[in-house]
Structure 1
Amino acid sequence: MSVTRRQMIARSGALGAGIAFTGSLSELFAGTAAAQDLGHSGYGPLVPDPDGLLDLPKGFRYKVLSREGDQLRSGEGKVPSNHDGMAAFAGGNGRVRLVRNHENRYNGKIGVPTVKGLTYDPMGKGGCTALTLDRHGKVLGERVAIAGTAVNCAGGPTPWGTWLTCEETEDRAGTNGYTKDHGFIFEVDPADPHRSGAVPLTAMGRFQHEAIAVDPRRGIVYETEDAFEKPFGLFYRFLPKKPQGGLGSLRAGGRLQAMRVPGVPDLSSIQETGASFDDIEWVDVPDPLAVETPIRLQDFGKKGITHAQKLEGCYWGGTSVYFVSSFARSAEGSAADHYGQIWRYEPSKRRLTLVIVFGPDTDVQLPGESPDNICLAPSGGLMVCEDGNGAQHVYGVTRRGEVYAVARNAQNIGTPDAPEWGEFAGVAFSPDGGTMYVNCYSPGTTFAVTGPWRRA
């Protein structure tokens, strides 16, 4: 999650919530088993939190599960900084296991403590921590799940109950003090991290990873790349040799391919929702390890390859994979400007469709563009984490296209005269749909939010 996001938005701290959409929200939920749509625009206005942490609608409440700088319950060290991507897994007997990324760089604040058997590169400050909650939401345990990685931004859950954590960097051994190459995906077992260890899934590529989504039927893993400079990132798929899945199956290798949209070198050039492209091509990546050249700069033949700026969130819904482009700016090298897109790829039809275009509602001072982490909500809609300057929200989006604020970060990390709030990340729901978990990136805080989520 780059520090350059939404630089065009003034640090005004505007509290109004406004998102404009074009496109059909119903496409995002086709074929899903989501609950009935909320049917109205939200749960009411946000109520200022007297403790200055998290503003929520009336009837909702939060619990702080973990804060950076506190002691891990395992005794392994302090809770690391920069809370980012996260997922919730059923732990049996009503328990929930959370796996949480820490996007620490070489010069990060509080790094993930190194633990024997769980550390990839002792000079890496990133990694994951895992929390275990009882059926009442009480924290039973908190421990290191993987250490020695770098810039762990997002990732995604697998159908077999593990977490794939993604390094958003291409730094090599010898750069910034690292002793090993970085830019990989690692598998984390939330129940027993020592079963998964700290093994890079090298066949899945070495690049600035952001997020993944797994086709549960075919076992194909889709990957987004959040490259910071032009040429921007690619959208990938990984065809595993063992598509049946299971812990460790991805280590057997497979083929990494990049998406080519015929005649479209840059996705930002497509501005009209509903625009659809058939016969999408997948091209083998010449050198997945990027030994000499970053993948996005490699030779994909005369037809080239399709790029997009700020490829971020990625998730599987129904029979399709969805991925997010947070924004595009022509001043930074994109073909055109936009405030956020969601694309849908249907593997069975080899079809790519622009489903949603985000944009500020009449005033660029308002929040509501630059969508990032996204998850399906028990209400049947989406939850969207906002990432940028100014006021930071978690938004709900109904199937009807109504947008409403669910939470607002109240932790001012600026000054009274120039307030600033950290972004939200890692939004996820408990297996029973009764609790929303979400991270505040800085100061690193993990919240559990309960309330009438299914109210219709």
Structure 2
Amino acid sequence: MTITRRALLGASAATGIVAAAGLPAHAAPAAGGSALPVVADNGLVALPKGFKINRVSTIGAEDLLADRFGAVIGKTPSNLDGTGAFDVPGGVRLVVNHECRASARIPVPLVEGTVYDDGVPGGMGGNTVVETDSNGRFVQQWVALSGTIRNCAGGETPWGSWLACEEDVTKAGTTVTSSVDGQTYTTKKDHGYVFEVFPDVVAKQVPLPIKAWGRAVWEGAAIDPDLTKAYITEDTGRGLLYRWTAPEGAKIGPRIAEQFGENDGVLQAAQLVRDGVPLVHYGQLTAADVNKPYPVKWLDGGADRQAQNANLRDQYPGATQHPKIEGCWNDANGMWFTLSYTNASQIAQYKASHGIDMLGDSGMIAYYNFADETITIKEYWANGNAEGFHGPDNITVSPWGGVVIAEDGNDPCSLVAFTERLGSNEIARDLGDRGEWAGPAFAKGGSLLFASIQGDCTYAISGPMAKYLNR
């Protein structure tokens, strides 16, 4: 029988040896070489030949500062997620999301100048800035945003800041009990917003929500190159893809939350149209739709943009839905985004509610073209695909045009490189069953790829990336 990359690596992890054998298509790059023969970090990670990896930081290990060169106030917070990587003289600064709720083991502490809502227990979610040297070695870290909830993914802006998305719509006045101190707290502000975070000191931060973009269960965000539009993904049942257009004559720039009022601009949701028929669910797409661009109709709605009386997604009837529209990242011409899966529950639900049939899938990688206003499925992971890939989540664009996807499926999870020429190939695999990968981001012209295992640590990976990611 065919030996899949998961079976092969699982059998060999104990010895740290991976032999070439019967690999399915896409299990190794066309440039050749065995599949992930390098085992590193005390047997916890497998990598391709020529790759190296080092831990940048580990949850609960390194000192966390109140500001750059400030006082020690804790240790590396938990629930690592979306990450931006920004080159600075002598090194890199990562802006790291912490997807912390009240149950978080190590929440982001409240730090004056970074606080959105001081009513959340122990700080809960937020962002840290992790400074490394030019080789990706830890130097120091400090708090950049606090008092938020479930900072999931986001995206980099053209001017070098990070968009941190709250994947939570807790309202002001909600009582929550912290697992850290057992105390009950009451939130003071609504949550469910996008925040802009700078890879800089506390004095440069703007802990204000971008209310113009609306309030929802946000996942990823991207700004188009002409600085007039933002795209935001929603990770929840019946989630939508949104587009916000700035007021006529305005450009999106630094300190977005201070630039626009809560009702400024136009917020729309995407309806995907295939062969003249609007799709109810992205799961109606199949492998037969790969590389076929389909037009998007942008629907108006969102009269209650701050979702005080109705969920934002319910205000756009006819928009195409999905339970997990995940990470997004733009290039010069469009935006890549992931659709995590369509499972049996979704199939049954939409058969009953809308009379539509879906095959089910293990995830899709999609591309929205800014100029043509089309969505094209670039990669389709069928259920039971030979490579075993499942649950594409965070995504980033490489300097060579290909993308790297963080897998959030059944353990073991991988970092997956995708190009249209090579398909999907592993470039790192967790051998410790530590859960999902998160926050892939390139720095130093692509010589460093940063990514995290959500429940453990952040890594810096180097090696012949172009072999896997060159279009």
TM-score above 0.5:
yes
Question: Which residue matches 1:235?
Answer: 241
What CA distance in whole angstroms lies between the structure 2 residues aligned with 1:193 and 1:236? 30
1:422 corresponds to 2:435: yes
What CA distance in whole angstroms lies between the structure 2 residues aligned with 1:288 and 1:18? 50
1:430-449 equivalences in 2 (<5 Å):
430-443=443-456, 445-449=457-461
Question: Which residue matches 1:172?
Answer: 171
1:285 corresponds to 2:285: no
> 1:171 aligns to what SS in structure 2?
coil
Misfit runs of 4+, over 6 Å: 11-14, 16-21
1:183 corresponds to 2:186: no
1:69-88 equivalences in 2 (<5 Å):
69-74=60-65, 75-88=72-85
Structure 1 residue 193 displacement after superposition: 3.8
> 2:320 aligns to what SS in structure 1?
coil
Contact 1:268 1:309 in 2 (8 A): no
Question: Which residue matches 1:203?
Answer: 212
Structure 1 residue 189 displacement after superposition: 0.8
Rg bigger for which structure?
A: 2
Q: CA RMSD in A?
A: 2.7
What CA distance in whole angstroms lies between the structure 2 residues aligned with 1:206 and 1:347? 24
CA deviation string 1:49-85 (max 9, x = no partner)? 3613322233322221111112425212121101110
1:6-85 equivalences in 2 (<5 Å):
15=10, 39-40=30-31, 44-49=35-40, 51-74=42-65, 75-85=72-82
CA deviation string 1:175-215 (max 9, x = no partner)? 23422211101100112343223111111111100001110
Where does structure 2 lack aligned partners over 5 or more consecutive residues?
1-5, 12-21, 66-71, 177-185, 351-355
Query: Aligned in 2, Cα 1:55/1:290: closer, same or farther, shift over 3 Å?
Result: same
> 1:110 aligns to what SS in structure 2?
coil
Query: Aligned in 2, Cα 1:106/1:56: closer, same or farther, shift over 3 Å?
Result: same
TM-score normalised over the length of structure 2: 0.80
Match of 2:412 among 391, 400, 419: 391
Contact 2:330 2:397 in 1 (8 A): no
Structure 1 residue 284 displacement after superposition: 3.4
Question: Which residue matches 1:404?
Answer: 425
What CA distance in whole angstroms lies between the structure 1 residues aligned with 2:206 and 2:41? 42
Contact 2:299 2:319 in 1 (8 A): no
Question: Which residue matches 1:31?
Answer: none
Query: Aligned in 2, Cα 1:43/1:223: closer, same or farther, shift over 3 Å?
Result: farther
Structure 1 residue 13 displacement after superposition: 11
Structure ranking higher on relative contact order (CA contacts 8 Å, 6+ apart):
1
> 2:361 aligns to what SS in structure 1?
coil
Query: Aligned in 2, Cα 1:318/1:43: closer, same or farther, shift over 3 Å?
Result: farther
Match of 1:213 among 214, 218, 222: 222
Letter of the 2:150 counterpart: V
Letter of the 1:142 counterpart: Q
Query: Aligned in 2, Cα 1:437/1:266: closer, same or farther, shift over 3 Å?
Result: same
TM-score normalised over the length of structure 1: 0.83
Where does structure 1 lack aligned partners over 5 or more consecutive residues?
1-10, 22-37, 412-419
Letter of the 1:338 counterpart: D
CA deviation string 1:127-148 (max 9, x = no partner)? 1111122234333321011011
Letter of the 1:388 counterpart: G
What CA distance in whole angstroms lies between the structure 1 residues aligned with 2:270 and 2:367? 13
Letter of the 2:324 counterpart: K
1:372 corresponds to 2:396: no
Query: Aligned in 2, Cα 1:160/1:225: closer, same or farther, shift over 3 Å?
Result: same
What CA distance in whole angstroms lies between the structure 2 residues aligned with 1:315 and 1:402? 18
1:294 corresponds to 2:311: yes
**Would you tell me which structure has more helix in proportion to its own residues?**
2
What CA distance in whole angstroms lies between the structure 2 residues aligned with 1:410 and 1:168? 28
Question: Which residue matches 2:367?
Answer: 344
> 2:243 aligns to what SS in structure 1?
strand
Query: Aligned in 2, Cα 1:398/1:15: closer, same or farther, shift over 3 Å?
Result: farther
Query: Aligned in 2, Cα 1:398/1:234: closer, same or farther, shift over 3 Å?
Result: closer
Query: Aligned in 2, Cα 1:438/1:199: closer, same or farther, shift over 3 Å?
Result: same
Contact 2:41 2:54 in 1 (8 A): no
CA deviation string 1:402-426 (max 9, x = no partner)? 4322111133xxxxxxxx3211010
CA deviation string 1:216-263 (max 9, x = no partner)? 124311000001x3xx10100111247533321343323221112352
Contact 1:133 1:139 in 2 (8 A): yes
Letter of the 2:282 counterpart: L
Letter of the 1:170 counterpart: V
